[in-house]
Amino acid sequence: MAKLREEIAVQKAKETELNKTIHITEETMRAKQMLATMSHEIRSPLSGVVSMAEILTTTKIDREQRQLLDVMISSGDLVLQLINDILDLSKVESGAMKMEATKFRPREVVRHVLQTTAASLQKMLTLEGDIAYDIPIEVTGDVLRIRQILTNLVSNAVKFTHQGKVGINLYVVPEPPFAKSEECHQTETEDQSTVSSNGL
């Protein structure tokens, strides 16, 4: 009888622990969903603000006004990037993450990332982009994810570099000999980018 009571007590303790775990999991999921919803609601109006600022740059404005607009656009893009990070994390956890391949210009991506980082830079650092001469004008890939990854890498490099230089190196990766086929006449190249820091 005593052993039966002990087994019942152990079973109840397990059920209590299981219910507690389920409750914590549900609360965590609700919090993540709320964060994703808020991020999505913020992204739409912020995108509108950035778009209007970009339109203003095409009007007749002086140099100082253009510089202010550039900072505004870059800062807005940085916040949008943070929001996209949150939304992407939610997609990864739910298994809904999908890659979208589109044509884009890698040089413009590098320029955009460096410009966005420079707008919020508060250190005496040099930001530069080293792009190989044989990089194609247009390539195919998920430009949003590529820009997102480069922005995160550059931001981390800036965070841990107090003086010196942070740069993005973009170059073409040679095709391995064994990957070449006489039956394949389509030319494909693989571009690779690295973020480096030579500072302290």
Q: Are 129 and 187 part of one and the same domain?
A: yes
Q: Are residues 133 and 62 in the same domain?
A: no
Do 113 and 193 have their domain in common? yes
Q: Could you give the number of structural domains in the chain?
A: 2
Q: Are residues 32 and 56 in the same domain?
A: yes
Q: Which two tokens stand for residue 78?
A: 């940085």
183 and 127 in one domain? yes
Contact 141, 180 (CB under 8 A): no
Q: Would the CA dihedral through 41, 54, 112, 160 be positive or negative? A: negative
What string of pLDDT tens digits covers the 200 residues of the chain? 667 777 787 888 888 888 888 888 888 778 777 777 777 788 788 888 888 888 888 888 888 888 888 888 878 887 887 787 777 777 776 666 677 788 889 888 898 888 878 876 777 888 888 888 888 898 888 888 888 888 888 888 888 888 888 888 888 877 666 555 544 444 455 666 677 767 55
Q: Give the residue from 77, 162, 159 showing the smallest Cα distance to 124.
A: 162
Are residues 169 and 130 located together in one domain of the fold?
yes
Residue 10's SS3 state is helix
Residue 127: phi and psi, rounded to 5, are -105, 130
Residues 7 and 90 in one domain: yes
Same domain, 84 and 108: no
Which domain range does residue 23 map to? Answer: 2-94
Answer left, alpha or beta for residue 164, where phi above 0 means left and psi between -120 and 50 means alpha.
left
Place of tokens 């230089």: 165
Backbone phi and psi for residue 178, each to the nearest 5 degrees, phi listed first: -70, -15
The sign one gets for the Cα dihedral 162, 120, 36, 26 is positive
Q: How many alpha carbons lie under 13 Å from residue 59 in its C-beta half-sphere?
A: 8
**CATH number, position 161:** 3.30.565.10
